Amino acid sequence: MIPITAPDLGTLSYSYDGSLPLSETWAGGVSGSVSVAYDNNFRVTSRTVGATPIAYTYWKKGRYPLMIKRSEFG
C-alpha cells in the first residue's frame, strides 16, 4: 500500500501487483474503496466498488468489453 495523508488527516492508499493497480482506499471525511481483478491477458474481469461487484465479459477477440454486469449483494 502506498498511503497519502491530507492536511485533515484523511488518507488515500493504493495497492499494486507489480505495475497493475489492484485497489484504492480512502478514509476520513469520505471513505470507500475500489478494487480490480485481471485475467491472464491483463484484462479487467471485475471491479468492486464498496461492496458492489461489477463483472466484465469480452468478445472472443478480447479487445472490448462485451457486457458489464452489475451484481448487488445484501
pLDDT at 2 over 80: no
* Separation of first and last alpha carbons in the chain: 28
pLDDT at 19 over 60: yes
| Nearest-10 Cα torsion for 65, 69, 70, 71 | -140
**64 φψ region: left (φ > 0), alpha (ψ -120 to 50), beta (else):** beta
Percent of the chain's residues with pLDDT above 90: 39
Q: What integer pLDDT is reported at residue 69 of this predicted model? A: 59
> Which residue range(s) make up the domain with 14?
2-70
Separation CA 71–CA 33 (nearest Å): 16
Q: What integer pLDDT is reported at residue 1 of this predicted model? A: 67
In the chain, the number of structural domains is 1
Query: What is the distance of C-alpha 42 from the center of its chain?
Result: 14
Full-model pTM: 0.70
